[in-house]
């Protein structure tokens, strides 16, 4: 049965690198999580200010994996417009990165980066 994975991106003003957790469990750079075709990944952002812009870019972790993204929405996704993504059919390992900006209280914008979560889909390639 398909499930929804809650991926929370946490950012702190003054620190460029964001951190992430999956379903409430903290993760490190390079950590991966399992998913099945039909699952959803819901992105939530926690930090100061509202998100101004946000893009996710994905790529294959291993040769032989089909396509450049595990997400049905593509490999370059505007997460501000679409924060819940669908895992598409196929097995494989993909990495992704999230780059975003948030409004500061003084009217300026700060930039943040989540470098390297990975998702393993299906039985792996």
CATH number 2.60.200 is the correct assignment for the domain at 4-121: no
120: Cβ contacts below 8 Å, ≥ 6 apart: 32, 33, 34, 35, 92, 93
d(CA 75, CA 55): 10
User: How far does Cα 77 stand from its chain's mean position?
Assistant: 10
How confident is the model over 63-88, as pLDDT tens digits? Answer: 777 788 999 999 999 999 999 999 99
CB within 8 A of 76, min separation 6: which ones?
A: 55, 56, 57
Q: What is the pLDDT of residues 36-72, one digit of tens each?
A: 999 999 999 999 999 999 999 999 998 777 788 999 9
Are residues 88 and 71 in contact, defined by beta-carbon separation less than 8 angstroms?
Answer: yes
């Amino acid at each position: 049965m398909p499930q929804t994975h809650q991926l929370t991106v946490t950012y702190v003003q003054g620190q460029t690198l964001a951190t992430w957790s999956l379903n409430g469990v903290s993760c490190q750079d390079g950590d991966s999580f399992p998913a099945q075709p039909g699952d959803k990944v819901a992105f939530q952002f926690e930090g100061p200010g509202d998100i101004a812009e946000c893009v996710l870019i994905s790529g294959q972790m291993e040769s032989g994996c089909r396509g450049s993204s595990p997400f049905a929405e593509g490999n370059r996704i505007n997460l501000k417009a679409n924060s819940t993504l669908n895992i598409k059919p196929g097995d494989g390992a993909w990495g992704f990165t999230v780059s975003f900006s948030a409004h500061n209280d003084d009217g300026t914008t700060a930039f943040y980066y989540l470098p390297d979560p990975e998702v393993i889909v299906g039985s792996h390639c």
